[in-house]
Amino acid sequence: MPAQPRSGCAINAAVEVLGDNWSLIVLRDIIFGNRRHFRELLTCNNEGIASNMLASRLKKLIDEGLLTRADAARGQRAEYSLTEAGIQTLPVMVALGTWGMTHRETSRELTIRSRLMAEDPQLVDGLMDELRETHLGVPRPNPDAPRSSERLQAAYEAEIAGS
């Protein structure tokens, strides 16, 4: 059960869950990197999250209803999945990415996805449908449509190749 916010303010309620230094980064790595296991989240993180901090954030995101953790049999890795609330952080990340590109120094190759999603809201909708399929088992409404994730990955790879 999510914690009760300090006030009834919607911005405060969101910031209490997403406003720390790591929660959105963990969600970003799950959403865009498809990192679903603790070790992947720890070792493939560009910002260098510590293992105790990652464990704390994963627990918090589960407690707040943004992630679930599948029970793992002995010797297997536990898998984290987004909930609908976690999937709906994507537009927030797009807005934050747009703000970051506008007001902070960023690298072109690490902002290509943010730029494309800011320019084309259909990419965001398509990616959210893909996340629902992957994490919640809900089939995409139009399974024959090109995947937003493939378009975003192709643009990222083209940017890296051109650098």
Give the type of residue at 29. D
**Nearest alpha-carbon partner for 142 in 124, 131, 129, 132:** 129
- The dotted CATH code for 10-83 is 1.10.10.10
Are the C-beta atoms of 133 and 139 separated by less than 8 Å?
yes
The residue extents of the domains of the chain are 10-83, 89-162
pTM as predicted: 0.88
The tens place of each residue's pLDDT in the chain, 163 residues long, gives 676 767 778 888 888 888 888 999 999 999 999 999 999 999 998 889 999 999 999 999 999 999 999 987 777 889 999 999 999 999 999 999 999 988 888 888 778 888 899 989 999 999 999 999 999 999 999 999 899 999 888 888 887 787 6
